[in-house]
Amino acid sequence: MRITKIHLQNFRQYRNCVYTFEKRANDIHIIVGENFQGKSNLLNSINWCLYNEEPHLTDKNKALAIPNTNALIEPSQDPVVPVMVELDLEDEGKKIKFVRKAQYSKQPDLNSKYRELFNKLIIQKNIGRGNNWDIIDDDELLRFEIDKYFPKNIREVFFFDGEQLSSYFKSSSTQRIKNNITLISQIQILEIIEDRLDKIITKKNSEAIGGSKDLSLLEKEILALKNSNSEISDCLESLKSELLEAKSEKERLDEVIGSIDDLTQINDQRKLLQKQIIDTQVTILEKESSLIQAAPGYIMLSYCHQDLLEFQNLISEMQKKKQIPPRIDKKLLEQSIKDDKCVVCNTKLTKAGRENIENTMESISISSEFARHLNEQASQISINLNNLLHTKELITIFMRDIHHYKEIENRLKQRLDDLDRKISSIPDLVYMTNKWNKRKEIENAIEMTTQEIGAKKAEYKRNDENITMKQGILDKELKKRGIVESLKKEIDFCRELQRVVTEAKIQLIDETREDARKITKQTFFSLHWAKESYKDVLLSENYELDVRHKSGSSCIGSLSGAERALLALSYIMAMHKISNLNLPLIIDTPIATISGTNRENFSKVLAEIGKTKELILLFTPAEYSLELQSVFNEEHATLRRLICSNGESHLEEY
């Protein structure tokens, strides 16, 4: 099948433009245009025509209405602007036209939007009966025809943005591949049969159970478990899809972030370091304060130290020489004389004892006060000397601590400086920080979703075990109660049939997957410019595509942009082949993400594909370099330049 013509009227930049794609020896059609001239809107026009959608809109165009701006503002009697995209196809001698027409009010509404008044697709088919065209306008039939020629679910395998090519096999692709293969396997009918058989089995079981309340309850439980598992399956699919999307988003962010360190972590580290510096400074201040409190004592005692020692020695010498009398309590002596007995041992005083006490009292009245003073000084000197020792120790400890904490402070400041230098070298800090924060959020989401998937799988397994167990009990009970033999045979037959259908479905998918792998591998190796580096292309049961290096190691992650694009293209070619849809390929900016000599290599691959398939390529002038021109020079069927002037796009000869 080929696209022979695309006619656009009042569709975005296109006021009235006709693309024709005449086949020559090759079927390559090249359109060269700067950005915003209408290349991506050509893809949008096809999507709009077929599905009433525009998946390739730029942000600028999203804000604009579909009708051509000039047509909207042009003064005329007509209050509406007609929009039309006509897609002409040729399929084994048959001609088919997909024509979508719409009308928009020229008068904007209160929200400044141009209201769509009418929108309708029709299909015209000419199956070789002269000029007789069958017109299809019934919605059901229209859907059928679109699914026949351009199945919406796999539209990405026939027209897409070239920038997608090199990112085609990022993590979210597994879901995409699974969807493609499931759709192409055409197992929908088997799924319907499976579902129908399930309903029949349930109905037959109910008949077999008859009026038994116990068994009816058991059956209800089984049904509830099955329903629960069905919901869990849907939930798992959705979670897996979320997980893949999150992984893909993480990969996209990783590409943006590149080799820039984790800014969230750096900011956390900065905050932690700043806090640690403040804490250390507070500790230093506390230690310094303690040091300052100890300093006066230390200074005065140090200066007096020698004198303290000498004075202590002097007093000690005086005590030895009995120059300082021992301390005697005069009041006790007076009390003893008064009571006529020793107040210490409570014995009556002798005459000699009384005289002795009276003599002692006489001598201490002269010198005891000074002696007491000297003894007191001796005692205080000891206290001061001890204080000096203690203060010296404290000061040593405080100074050592201060030194230690200052070293810590310097090290922390050094680390903070290093981080600040690292941060200041990042060109757009706020943007990158946002990206890192987003990445952290996604990482958390991935972790949570993974846990949720695990929990759901466990729940599914538990339910499944319960179903088997309850089903066993039900079967046994039915047997015991002697259910009608014919009914039992019917149930068993349905179950067996259901098993066969399920197996067939799995087998079909497996076969399709293996075919996809083989053809992808074959195409990849036949088109690769350095195929000797690789050994195999694998497509796992989980739909993960991988390329094996000749050493046997996985190398999909290290493929160049061009190689990834080639792999994607090989896979797409495989999808075309397996689906038996001989579809054209329309690629917007096919080499946008490919650099250097690989651009030429990849262009040669496209030229090769153009020998067997209609290929419409949309390039920017920068992409369509002299090297590419030399590759396509002999190969292209048409070559045109797309120019947009005064808000209207038109084609010129290149």
Partner 1 sequence: MPVRDRLYISVHNRALLEKIDDILKPSHNNLERKEIFFIAMALGLDTPEEIKGKKDGLFLLKNLRDNEINLLNVCAWHHYHDVDILSDTNKVFDIAEQCANAGFKLIELAVKNHGESFIIKLMTDTQNRFK
Which positions lie near partner 1, rule CB under 8 A?
285, 288-289, 291-293, 295-305, 307-308, 310-311, 314-315, 318, 370, 373-374, 376-377, 380-381, 383-384, 387, 395
Q: Which is nearer to partner 1, 118 or 303 (CB)?
A: 303
Q: Inter-axis angle of helices 188-209 and 429-480, to 10 degrees? A: 40
Output the six-digit token pair for 618. Answer: 């949309």
Q: Which is nearer to partner 1, 381 or 642 (CB)?
A: 381
Q: Which is nearer to partner 1, 134 or 310 (CB)?
A: 310
Least distance from C-beta 397 to partner 1, angstroms? 14
User: How many other β-carbons are positioned within 10 Å of the β-carbon of residue 82?
Assistant: 15
Residue in the structure block whose two tokens are 């792999």? 567
Residue type, 109: D
Least distance from C-beta 308 to partner 1, angstroms? 6
Q: Which is nearer to partner 1, 266 or 301 (CB)?
A: 301
Where on the phi/psi map is residue 362: left (φ > 0), alpha (ψ -120 to 50), or beta?
Answer: alpha
CA–CA distance, 420 with 67 (Å, rounded to integer): 52
User: Is the separation of the CB atoms in 610 and 532 below 8 Å?
Assistant: no
Least distance from C-beta 317 to partner 1, angstroms? 11
Selection from 270, 266, 265 nearest residue 412 by Cα: 270
Q: Which is nearer to partner 1, 345 or 383 (CB)?
A: 383
Torsion angle of C-alpha atoms 458, 464, 467, 473, degrees rounded to 10: -100
Least distance from C-beta 371 to partner 1, angstroms? 11
Least distance from C-beta 302 to partner 1, angstroms? 5
What is residue 64's three-state secondary structure? coil
Q: What is the 3-state secondary structure (H, E, C) of 393-413?
A: HHHHHHHHHHHHHHHHHHHHH
CB within 8 Å of 103: residues ≥ 6 apart:
80, 81, 82, 83, 116, 117, 118, 119
Half-sphere exposure of 477 (CA within 13 A, CB side): 18
Least distance from C-beta 287 to partner 1, angstroms? 11
Q: Which is nearer to partner 1, 300 or 643 (CB)?
A: 300
Least distance from C-beta 259 to partner 1, angstroms? 46
Least distance from C-beta 455 to partner 1, angstroms? 57
Q: Which is nearer to partner 1, 343 or 397 (CB)?
A: 397
CA–CA distance, 385 with 301 (Å, rounded to integer): 8
Q: Which is nearer to partner 1, 118 or 370 (CB)?
A: 370
Please give the helix or strand (H or E) that residue 33 lies within, else none.
Answer: strand 28-33
Least distance from C-beta 314 to partner 1, angstroms? 7
Q: Which is nearer to partner 1, 307 or 329 (CB)?
A: 307
Beta bridge partners of 19: 6
User: Is the separation of the CB atoms in 517 and 539 below 8 Å?
Assistant: yes
Least distance from C-beta 384 to partner 1, angstroms? 5
Residue type, 208: A
Least distance from C-beta 405 to partner 1, angstroms? 15
Q: Which is nearer to partner 1, 212 or 312 (CB)?
A: 312
Q: Which is nearer to partner 1, 304 or 555 (CB)?
A: 304
Residue in the structure block whose two tokens are 């525009």? 54
CA–CA distance, 219 with 225 (Å, rounded to integer): 10
> CA geometry: angle at 77 spanning 71 and 80, to 5°?
50
Beta bridge partners of 121: 100
